[in-house]
Structure 1
Amino acid sequence: MDAFYASAEQAAKPSLRGKAVIVGGLGPRGVVATASYEARKFGVHSAMPMGQARRLAPHAAYLVPRFGLYRDISEQVMALLRELSPLVEPLSLDEAFVDLEAGGVASDTASALAVGEKLRADIRAVTGLTGSVGLAASKMLAKIASEEAKPDGLRLIEPGTERELLADKSVRILPGVGPATGDHLRRAGITTVGDIAEAGQDELVRLLGKAHGGHLYAMALAVDERPVVAERETKSVSVEDTFDVDIHDRVRVRLEVDRLAERCVQRLRAGGHSGRTVVLKVRRYDFSTLTRSETLRGPTDDPAVVREAAARLLESVDTTGGVRLLGVGVSGLADYTQEDLFAQAQAAEAEAKALAAGEAEAESGDTEGAETPPPAGAEAAEPAPAERRWYAGHDVRHAVHGPGWVQGSGLGRVTVRFETPGSAPGRVKTFRVDDPELEPGEPLPLVASGE
């Protein structure tokens, strides 16, 4: 898919079409998830710090991701791919490999091109968005072809032309060549894929080791035997948060770990999994990252068990100086749950002790430390409600003006643009953040049914 998150937002928001749109974390430590092609002209790209993006493109629209919408669109696209073949290997929400031979839908260049063109048309019809298709004899080359086809294009690499096509390209185009490996090869005078092929396997093994060097040499010769794997086994489930300001309060750190444990278990259950190893990740103020893990007696999806294990792991971590990121994960996944009977027994024992202590206190009349009941006729003061937060780009609905999206908020006010995917660019109105007529909304379909 082309600039997936940003394109989805442009399709949903008529006023942003043709304009620079940047999706990602909007806090001081946020990073760019996706930038529209209009934003890329200013030098903005994915994984860039959001502060740098704002300096490069100060007038762009900056939005918080709506992963629910993106997942729905992804499911529509993956369904189209599965109509072509039983072998579909998703890489992310917006990218997948498809084995056309296994589906019997392409036997030569002409039929492969026809399948690719129809797929692009179907994606546009179903989602309203564009995708780019790369066709080749291997996964590596199909990936390269799809990148060269962007945006909204199709590229086929003819069998027999692969080595010639790769020869002048940077070594960074090969899978497994990141910045560190690229620099290492450059220092050895190897900058193109052709240089790798010319250097020979022995030299690559000497530079990078047997496994990595041999793998890259084969790729440079356009040899990629990796099959398309229809189902990838989920090995772990995790969630993490980066905080705009370092957390120093140990109590706050514990509360955040508890909250992350709850979210992790929600994802675990949504996938129909349980797990037996709980992992805690802590990135401290100096960017040092610590991980701790604890393996339970059996797999569980009990939030209390995961929460307590994460809390125990936190006790072994020094958070002095502040914490900038926390994460909780569960690995060792299974598709069944074996309740932690030991933990349950502990909880039951603690509850029984608390009950016995309460009964003894009532019998002795000892009320030291107990809350004093309010005087007759006095009303308990209710805590002030927390201010509602409105995230830029998220959907809202107003009782009078209908559906719209948050354009921005601050100083107790929220600005909303009222428009829908099929409407003209809408009008902007500002409300108090606690306006009772304004509520969070749900994403609307990008393509109306029947279109």
Structure 2
Amino acid sequence: MGHNSPAVTRRLLMPALSRSIAHLDMDAFFASVELLRYPQLRGQAVVVGGRRAGGDGEDFPRLATYVGRGVITTATYEARALGVHSGMGLMKAAQLAPEAILLSANFDAYRHYSRLFKAAVRALAPQVEDRGIDEIYIDLSALNPDGSVNGARQIAMQLQQAVRDATGLSCSLGVAPNKLLAKLCSDLDKPAGITVVTADDLPARIWPLPAKRINGIGPKAAARLEELGIVTIGELAGADPAWLQDHFGERYGVWLSRAARGEDERPVVTESEPKSLSRETTFERDLHPKNDRPELSTRFTRLCEQLADDLTRKGYVGKTVGLKLRFDNFHTVTRDQTLPMPVGDAAAIRKAAGECLKRVPLDRRIRLLGVKVSSLIRRDAAPLPDERPTQGELFD
């Protein structure tokens, strides 16, 4: 009678997936929502960004004609194939893809479709952790109790179809024993991909990938790893943990070693209270604090109104109001003020932010303006002031 190897015996006794954790990522989300509005643009290079709206028919602006400071919010996969990507300046992108179509962002529509896809997922798999407008983690363990790869794949296919039925949009899912691997895997077979990875798959599927693909290894850490001769996740997994701690510090060094080996015990957190809400805008041109005061005041009012709407929609008020300014030399200044009573309306937010503004020397043109409310409290659990402050003039 033959004998099973230890690895085979382990697979017979243990499920392939100790936990079934999925990361669902919408495919080119903002651009895909725009294609629902403009289906005639499917298959073309389309970039979303800037402030100029697209037209109808053949009247869509091209990237080559854009003038301004805007950046790409997202792009279709056809545009990405030309070398453009989110976060890239539109003027630089125009050099790479001058004929790409440019559409302005419509965040109200994106939030609408975000709510739709998340509701569709929760109807099938309620253990959801919201990570942003276009991505979520899902704990599928209760739906896949035997931890089988086929079971995980079938559930992922059902979720994918539910999202498509609810929104007309596609998504990609990675399913793995933990959140770190699931997020990495959701990006491997885009668009409309499903990737299921077990611990046994790490050497073949994960370790050949660049180390920078791990969420948490940023450009600086990746560059430092390359300087030290570590390019792939496998090379990082094989590095001496003590050596990593010598070069990256104890905490981050330990994390690097564990992440490369696919270790992550974080749970899917279904209830998460936000610490703050904020709104900010980057101007097309730098605005002068005195010469452009009317425009600055109008922009500030709009930011406070949007932030108040966000607070109302999510059911919060907050006791601390913050201001953020970035000047034309890229120097960023923040100020905040803690109030005796929580606020949530636009006028109160604007008044408090105006008080913060008085503590900032306004001797340079302003590139970015932002407002934040923190120390959040549930609106239904917080006492509100009887008298609301009146709206004061900004930049006086």
Aligning the two structures, in what range does the TM-score lie when normalised by the shorter sequence?
A: 0.7 to 0.9
Mind listing any 5+ residue stretches in structure 2 that lack a counterpart? 1-25, 52-66
Contact 1:261 1:310 in 2 (8 A): no
| 1:36 and 2:36 are equivalent in the alignment | no
Which residue of structure 1 aligns with residue 320 of structure 2?
277
Deviation per residue, 1:49-107 (Å, 9 max, x gap): 11112222222211111222222222221122213322111222221111111345774
Choose which of 174, 187, 190 in structure 2 pairs with 1:150.
Answer: 190
Scaled by the length of structure 2, what TM-score is found? 0.82
Choose which of 354, 359, 363 in structure 2 pairs with 1:316.
Answer: 359
Superposition deviation, residue 233 in structure 1: 1.4
Deviation per residue, 1:154-205 (Å, 9 max, x gap): 1111342224432222110112110111112222222222222222211111
Which residue of structure 2 aligns with residue 2 of structure 1?
27
Choose which of 8, 12, 17 in structure 1 pairs with 2:37.
Answer: 12
Contact 2:289 2:366 in 1 (8 A): no
Superposition pairs of residues 216-255 of structure 1, within 5 angstroms: 216-250=256-290, 251-252=293-294, 253-255=296-298
User: What amino acid maps onto 1:44 in structure 2?
Assistant: V
Which residue of structure 2 aligns with residue 288 of structure 1?
331
User: What amino acid maps onto 2:360 in structure 1?
Assistant: V
Superposition deviation, residue 14 in structure 1: 2.4
Deviation per residue, 1:217-271 (Å, 9 max, x gap): 1111111111111122111111111111111143334453343223222221221
Distance 1:118 1:303 in 2: 42
CA RMSD of aligned residues (A): 2.1
Distance 2:167 2:121 in 1: 13
Distance 2:255 2:97 in 1: 40
Shift of the 280–171 alpha-carbon distance from structure 1 to 2, 3 Å rule, reads same
User: What amino acid maps onto 1:229 in structure 2?
Assistant: V
| 1:191 and 2:216 are equivalent in the alignment | no
Which residue of structure 2 aligns with residue 305 of structure 1?
348
Which residue of structure 1 aligns with residue 137 of structure 2?
97
Distance 1:84 1:205 in 2: 42
SS of the residue corresponding to residue 383 of structure 2 reads: coil
Distance 1:106 1:94 in 2: 29
Superposition pairs of residues 14-93 of structure 1, within 5 angstroms: 14-26=39-51, 28-93=68-133
Contact 1:84 1:100 in 2 (8 A): no
Contact 1:10 1:16 in 2 (8 A): yes
Contact 2:184 2:215 in 1 (8 A): no
Choose which of 236, 250, 264 in structure 2 pairs with 1:210.
Answer: 250
User: What amino acid maps onto 2:374 in structure 1?
Assistant: S
Shift of the 8–303 alpha-carbon distance from structure 1 to 2, 3 Å rule, reads closer
Contact 1:20 1:38 in 2 (8 A): yes
Distance 1:263 1:71 in 2: 13
Superposition deviation, residue 216 in structure 1: 1.3
Moved more, 209-218 or 183-192: 183-192
Superposition deviation, residue 321 in structure 1: 2.3
Contact 1:86 1:102 in 2 (8 A): no
Which residue of structure 2 aligns with residue 201 of structure 1?
241
Moved more, 245-254 or 5-14: 245-254
Contact 1:257 1:311 in 2 (8 A): no
Contact 2:156 2:173 in 1 (8 A): yes
Shift of the 264–76 alpha-carbon distance from structure 1 to 2, 3 Å rule, reads closer
SS of the residue corresponding to residue 267 of structure 1 reads: helix
Distance 1:244 1:105 in 2: 53
Choose which of 197, 217, 233 in structure 2 pairs with 1:177.
Answer: 217
> Between Structure 1 and Structure 2, whose CA radius of gyration is higher?
1
Matched pairs, number: 346
Contact 1:105 1:115 in 2 (8 A): no
Mind listing any 5+ residue stretches in structure 1 that lack a counterpart? 351-451
Shift of the 154–259 alpha-carbon distance from structure 1 to 2, 3 Å rule, reads closer
